[in-house]
Structure 1
């Protein structure tokens, strides 16, 4: 075998070894270094997150219905406010908070509730723990709609009507509640707090 062929074989072996070391150290595009798939579990968003400036698309959201004037005022104070996006976020908040209340998860509830609401929910959880009563479970969201919006100084408040089906033991009942969310439009914190909960009477 000629020396050139031997040199080529050695170079190929070295290249293969280096490539293998890189693969085992860094992993493939779709896995960890040992070849297992990476976890794609979403990371929770912090309770306080600095608002990032958004490019101005030049499009103005549509304000309709009985809350139009209030929504217009909130948008004027905070141009990033979009009623459709807000309603999607409110639905997610309802589902998350209802589930946390059913679990008695005070740690999850506290950052998202105003003081009065938290104290009322905390007392309800404590009473349930004392009596051993079953917690209501959210079975299905039936409908959600913005009912009212207003701007008091820099404080925005938006009320959403939620219709849902709840399960309590073997029983199923309909629930209709008005949740009011608030946010200081002059703050860089983009998160809304649950300020009030009223049951439709």
Structure 2
């Protein structure tokens, strides 16, 4: 038996195929432009301000910082950074607002304050046992608008447990040592011998 093809069906099929290829072409162009833009962004050096290019090398930023402050002592700074890291974590865990006020900048203080207030509202207690800092490494350093800034990456071991008012464990494990990785930014605008480094930004991993 011979079958005849409906002309309307053929026209509809042609329209669908044409629409399909138009969509493919459009997506191809969009993806091509997106890949080009991504490649440009990856190749372009990041900038801390409008005039100085920022690099990922540690030596170069430190050298630039020493040009501003020839007396900058990296070992002394890292020694203080380790002590500050532990002191700030302990003050945060103990809800010691007064200690935090002298160690961190306004934005970090506000963030820590909100977390502490939240724990208090929930009647929770954070028990932190600080085992030690495995690594404290400068990953960036630069001078911006007369302020020296240094970014430090920490790797530490802690035991952290949050308990409710009836001593039930809300988070953490009292028998587990956890490796914590933090990236903290310190800033100071005073001369090197009397620098008072303040924590101005935190980032966890």
> Matched residue of 1:165: which SS?
strand
Segments of 5+ residues of structure 1 without an aligned counterpart are 1-64
Does the 8 Å CA contact 1:154/1:186 hold for their aligned counterparts?
Answer: no
Paired with 2:62 and 2:68, the residues of 1 have a C-alpha distance of: 10
Structure 1 runs (4+) greater than 4 angstroms displaced: 185-189
Q: How does 1:1-201 map to 2 (within 5 A)?
A: 66-137=57-128, 138-169=130-161, 170=174, 171-185=176-190, 189-200=194-205
Deviation per CA, 1:101-140: give whole Å up to 9, x if none.
Answer: 1111110110221110000001111111122333251222
TM-score between the two structures when normalised by the length of structure 1: 0.62
State the superposition RMSD in angstroms: 1.9
> Matched residue of 2:102: which SS?
helix
Of the structure 1 ranges 133-142 and 117-126, higher mean CA displacement relative to structure 2 is found in 133-142
TM-score between the two structures when normalised by the length of structure 2: 0.61
Aligned residues: 136
- Name the one with the larger helix percent: 2
Segments of 5+ residues of structure 2 without an aligned counterpart are 1-55, 162-173
